[in-house]
Amino acid sequence: MSELIGLWIAALLTVFILSFLYKDNPFYKFAEHLFVGVAAGYVLALSWHNTIKPNLVEPLFYQGEWILIVPMAFGLLLFTRFIPKMSWLSRWSLAAIVGIYSGLAVVAIAEADFVTQIRATLIPIWDQTKWTQFSNQPSIVHFIHLFTNFITIFGLLTILFYFFFSVEHSGTWGLIAKIGTGLLMVGFGAGYGYTVMTRIALLIDRVVFLLGDVIGLL
Amino acid sequence: MKREIPLAILLITGLFMIFQYFVPHYAISDIASKIQQWAIIITSGAALLGIANLLRVSLDQAIARKQDWMYKWVVIVSLVVTGVSGIVGGIEPGTFFNDMIYFHMYTPMASTMYATLAFFIASAAFRAFRVRSWQAWLLACTALLVMLGRIPFGKMIWGDFPQFVDWIMNVPNTVAQRAILIGAALGAVATGLKMIFGIERSWLGGGD
């Protein structure tokens, strides 16, 4: 029974949100506000079970790790934002958060997003396995695969050059920068197309849910 | 005092977290993992602050009967019910929080919200995007190819269409993303260091 009620609640909320495609209406507003409340409550419950309880409450109150009073106090200091005269105290907590995560990020980002990405580009220009693949099965797709490594290496260089402003982008340099711009546009276009298709897939999922699970037409 | 202490906290914690990476001694690693645990606790305080603020703002508007005040009660009630049921009743499968709220309310609403974005993205692109330069042509054509390659119709036009689109996603797209990532990484490292050394102070906000 509760499963059936749940199914109908999900169906109604789905229709309420989709109704915004016609125009803004009270049903959509209800679902929108409900979503905000549920999402915030969800974060609250998850924070409690995954973070606050195992990292603070249990070690502090059941295992006697009294040192944890310090981060608890820092966490509570954030709430001084509600008291204008004392709100400057929240900067202490903010400083701890920003400091710890900045310190971690400086090294982690440099390693994961900088060094790793450059390392992934240091590959041979010519990949013999792709040539063998093309020889065995000649096709347009296998043909373009021959240029994979070449585009990966020189494409990256052209895009990076586009962001390098110490040289005027004219003549040969201008051409290189233009190739970089073109590759960037391909990347943006691919990103756009992929995002639209992901959203469409979600929409199809909702339509299948409404027509299949709820009404039973599919 | 009001600015110096936060800057000192930031400098000490930031430098220590960088330092611990280069000194893989167990004593240092132990302190670093403790500090990370502390950061998690403090950050969860920030999440709670956000939720408390949402409650406060919604309550203010509901009590003052401002525009759409009745919907603010929806926010308040749903937040309290979800939060309390999750904290008291648990979040495991079989609980009211997981089976009713998460699966029958949160998930359908979240995926429908994201699904409606398909229409907004398409309509925004139609209104704002004009194909006037070769760069714009390239962007529009790639988007069209990627979309066609992801549907059965694309395969009907050309059997290798999905593989071709996969190549676009894996090679030119990856190259572009990689270049952006490298640029962003340099920016993030520079910004992180500027914050740690107190050059970038916008996070302190205005006032004293």
Task: Report CB contact under 8 Å: A103, B171.
Answer: no
Contact: A160, B110; criterion CB under 8 Å: no
Within a domain: B5:
yes
Non-local CB neighbours of A182 within 8 Å, separated by 6+ positions: B134, B135, B138
Whether residue B100 and residue A190 make contact (CB cut-off 8 A), yes or no, is no
Is A74 within 8 Å of B9 (Cβ atoms)? no
Instruction: Provide the number of structural domains found in chain B.
Output: 1
Flag if B74 and A114 touch (Cβ within 8 Å). no
Q: Which residue of B has its CA nearest to A57?
A: B41
Inspect the interface and report whether the beta carbons of B179 and A20 lie closer than 8 Å. no
Q: Is A36 helix (H, G, I), strand (E, B) or coil?
A: helix
CB contact under 8 A, B47 and A193: no
Does the residue B205 lie in any domain?
no
Rounded (10°) CA dihedral B146, B150, B154, B158: 80
Q: A10 to chain B: nearest residue by CA? A: B104
CB B9 within 8 A of CB A96: yes
Give the pLDDT of residue A213. Answer: 84
| The pLDDT value given to residue B39 | 93
pLDDT of residue B201: 87
Residue of B49, B171, B186 lying closest to A114 (CB–CB): B186
pLDDT in tens, A26-77: 999 999 999 999 999 999 999 999 999 999 999 999 998 899 999 999 999 9
Secondary structure element (H or E) that encloses residue A100, with its range: helix A90-109
Residues of chain A with Cβ-Cβ distance to B203 below 8 Å are: 94, 98
Residues of B within 8 A of A192 (CB-CB) are: 121, 125, 139, 143, 146
Contacts with B129 (C-beta within 8 Å, 6 or more apart), sequence order: B136, B140
Measuring CA to CA, which residue among B208, B169, B204 is closest to residue B8? B204
What span, in angstroms and rounded, lies between the C-alpha atoms of B136 and A172?
22
The mean per-residue pLDDT over the stretch A140-153 comes to: 92
Cβ contact A40–B82 (<8 Å): yes
Q: What is the pLDDT of residue B207?
A: 67
The pair phi, psi for residue B192, each rounded to 5°, is -60, -45
pLDDT of res. B122: 84
Return the closest-CA partner of residue B179 out of B191, B171, B168, B190. B171
Q: Letter for the amino acid at A77?
A: L
How crowded is residue B82: how many other Cβ atoms within 10 Å of its Cβ? Answer: 27
With a pLDDT cut of 90, the percent of chain A lying above it is 68
Mean pLDDT over A71-89 rounds to 91
Task: For residue range A159-201, list pLDDT tens digits in order.
Answer: 999 998 888 888 999 999 999 999 999 999 999 999 999 989 9
The answer to whether A127 and B196 are in contact (CB under 8 A) is no
In this prediction, residue B118 carries a pLDDT of 85
A-chain residue closest to B193, CA distance? A106
Domain of B47, in residue numbers: 1-69
Question: Quick one: A196 exposed, middle or buried, by C-beta within 10 A (0-12, 13-18, 19+)?
Answer: buried
Min distance A41 CA to chain B CA atoms (Å): 4
| CB contact at 8 A, A109 and B190 | no
Amino acid (one-letter) located at B19: F
pLDDT in tens, chain B (208 residues): 788 899 999 999 999 999 998 988 899 999 999 999 999 999 999 999 999 999 999 999 999 998 889 999 999 999 999 999 999 999 999 999 999 999 999 999 999 998 898 888 888 888 888 888 999 999 999 999 999 998 889 889 988 899 999 999 999 999 999 999 999 999 999 999 999 998 988 888 776 6
Q: Is the model's pLDDT at A215 over the cut of 90?
A: no
